[in-house]
Amino acid sequence: MEDPIAGAAQQAGKKSHPKKVRVVPESLRKFREIREAAEAGGPPDKVEAQKKRGKLTARERIAYLVDEGTFQELGLLMESRCTDFGIRDKHIKGDGVVTGFGRIGGRLAAIFSEDFTQLGGSLGRTHAGKIAKLMDMAADARCPVIGILDSGGARIQEGVDSLDGYGEIFYRNTKYSGVVPQISIIVGPCAGGAVYSPALTDFVFMVQGLSNMFVTGPEVVKAATGESVDFETLGGAMTHASKSGVCHFTANSEQDCFRQVKELLSFLPASRHEAPPTSETKDSDTRRISLLEKLCEMDPRKPYRVHHIIWWLADDHKFLEVHHNYAKNIVVGFVRLGGKVVGVIANNPAHMAGALDINASDKAARFIRFMNAFNIPILTLVDVPGYWPGVAQEHGGIIRHGAKLLYAYAEATVPKVTLVLRKAYGGAYIAMSSKMMGGDINFSLPSAEIAVMGPRGAIEILYSRQIKEAKDEEKEAMRAKLAKEYSDKFASPYQTASTGSIDEVIEPAQARARLISAFRLLAEKRRPGEAGRSGNIPL
């Protein structure tokens, strides 16, 4: 019996004169119509409204993020199973969310993008199921999950089913924490229970003037407390970037936001089973850092931005700061040293003298736990006068919050290298990756002071009677002399090095070379995937 398909193939290969118009089969035509309608998103008027707000559509956002032509969509034709309020009758393809896999910088990533043009991007059970399935597949594929959120929240027409849908997602956010990187991009409203999924992820991006996050909106706040507040003040990008700490990165536009996401991903491994990506650099490992020689001449109490030190140490002077606007007394972010990704935690004397407080402890502790989960070595730059004093700090739980920083450093098994820049006093010295807290290699500059407290404060306690009895015109000279003696005997880095609490006092200009060498020495300390999984719990 003749094979009709084979026969058609043979005929197609032959030249025909004249050329006949190819008739598209009805089933194929219908499929294309359905697919095109589904890819169009919501009704034209809803799409137009989205554009008028200055917002991109769900698929446009994915296109900005992924390498061209690499996105493979899943669940395009899925619909809500809700039969109430005419939801089922609307035959909304995709149920308000686009899900799939694409490549970003050539590397695989799982992406979902909520579609505000379809039922306001509200989350129903099918919508949630698509996201949950994507997250399961991403964990199996060992690639990051990126969520683009633009939603009116739970779909009230589906009742408790929509709440259960959020539960499905929250469960997976937690289950895969520390397994694959999770990134949330807020490009519209994110309210009520919906805010807790981003809060469970590793990094949150927001766009100024476009993004909002809050548990209860301005109207509810007004009714419940009498407080009048607008959307931006209550839950805008800068509010969460500077006050609550929920937001790690802010952007001026959606396009700028997606550029930042790509930059962040260039520093991250795809999963806990990989090392971070390496990068070629022409920057010499032995480049001298003359800035650190100048730092040795500075008064320990004089402020400066530690960013300058980080820039000079890093390959090509590039530093991706995380949480730039929050707890500015400590700086965290990513650099490369000798082509290898390293996470940096640094006290910042330009803000609150670089002292540790509640917010700084939380910020640094969570960042350390992320790096430990994803095999990223830790560099700690220390210039800390102690913990920030005050009733507000004590009542706010500085003891409890400060302990998180201690726990994070002690728990971390990735390579840890520490450099004391100018001073490290008291309990804050211990907390900042000291030798006894598990620091692998601890360096110090020659001018650094390492002690229970600063020399000036120490002599006021140790020599209080002598200073009190001295003549007024002699007191300042006496203080300076006693502080110098105390510093030389008790706060000298050589004294600390003699006990093994510092491994080596180094030449300031050679700091970059010594740090690169130290991390290379520790490169095999822990192989990716060997350590037991630890999730990145919000702190």
Confidence class of residue 392 from pLDDT cuts 50, 70 and 90? very high
In angstroms, the Cα distances linking 166 to 82, 193, 199, 328, 445 are 16, 8, 13, 33, 51
The token pair that represents 191 in the structure block: 């309210």
The yes-or-no answer to whether 27-265 and 290-452+492-521 have a common fold is yes
370 or 159, which is more confident: 370
Q: What is the pLDDT of residues 259-297, one digit of tens each?
A: 999 999 999 999 999 999 999 999 999 999 999 999 998
Predicted confidence at residue 301, as pLDDT, reads 84
What mean pLDDT value characterizes the chain? 90
Question: Is pLDDT above 90 for 383?
Answer: yes
Beta-sheet pairing, 449-451 with 416-425: parallel
Burial of 107 (0-12, 13-18, 19+ CB in 10 A): middle
Task: Write down the CATH superfamily of domain 27-265.
Answer: 2-enoyl-CoA Hydratase; Chain A, domain 1 (3.90.226.10)
| Cβ neighbours for 321, distance < 8 A, ≥ 6 positions apart | 307, 331, 332, 333
Predicted confidence at residue 479, as pLDDT, reads 73
Question: Is pLDDT above 80 for 79?
Answer: no
Ordered DSSP codes for 141-160: HT--EEEEE----B-GGGTH
Q: Could you give the CA distance from residue 493 to residue 450 in angstroms, rounded to a whole number? A: 6
Predicted confidence at residue 488, as pLDDT, reads 67
Confidence class of residue 81 from pLDDT cuts 50, 70 and 90? confident
Predicted confidence at residue 118, as pLDDT, reads 86
Q: Identify the weakest region by mean pLDDT among 20-29, 330-339, 402-411, 507-516.
A: 20-29
Alpha helices in 142-273 (DSSP H): 160-175, 196-200, 218-225, 231-235, 237-239, 254-265
Question: Is pLDDT above 80 for 532?
Answer: no
Place of tokens 């000036």: 456
The token pair that represents 83 in the structure block: 């039969």
Q: What average pLDDT score do residues 68-73 get?
A: 96
Query: Which letter does DSSP use for residue 346 in this model?
Result: E
Q: Could you give the CA distance from residue 441 to residue 518 in angstroms, rounded to a whole number? A: 7
| Cβ neighbours for 310, distance < 8 A, ≥ 6 positions apart | 319, 331, 333, 335, 344, 346, 381
Nearest to 112 by CA among 156, 46, 172, 51: 172
DSSP count for the chain of H helices, then E strands:
22, 17
Q: What is the pLDDT of residues 196-224, one digit of tens each?
A: 999 999 999 999 999 999 999 999 999 99
Query: Which letter does DSSP use for residue 530 in this model?
Result: T
Q: What is the pLDDT of residues 394-429, one digit of tens each?
A: 999 999 999 999 999 999 999 999 999 999 998 999
**Domain boundaries defined on the chain:** 27-265, 290-452+492-521
pLDDT over 90, % of the chain: 69
Predicted confidence at residue 9, as pLDDT, reads 55
Confidence class of residue 88 from pLDDT cuts 50, 70 and 90? low
Say which CATH topology domain 290-452+492-521 has: 2-enoyl-CoA Hydratase; Chain A, domain 1 (3.90.226)
- pTM (2 decimals)? 0.91
Helix axes 398-411, 358-373, angle to 10 degrees: 20
Q: Could you give the CA distance from residue 494 to residue 344 in angstroms, rounded to a whole number? A: 25
Side-chain-facing half-sphere of 446: CA atoms under 13 Å? 10
Q: Edge-to-edge, what's the strand order for the sheet holding 72-74?
A: 72-74, 97-104, 107-114, 145-149, 182-186, 203-207, 249-251
User: Catalytic residue numbers?
Assistant: 192-193, 427-428
Question: Is pLDDT above 70 for 522?
Answer: yes
Q: Identify the weakest region by mean pLDDT among 29-38, 190-199, 237-246, 479-488.
A: 479-488
Q: What is the pLDDT of residues 113-159, one digit of tens each?
A: 999 998 888 898 999 999 999 999 999 999 999 999 999 888 878 88
In angstroms, the Cα distances linking 26 to 23, 30, 33, 40, 266 are 9, 6, 11, 21, 46
Nearest to 375 by CA among 344, 415, 346: 415
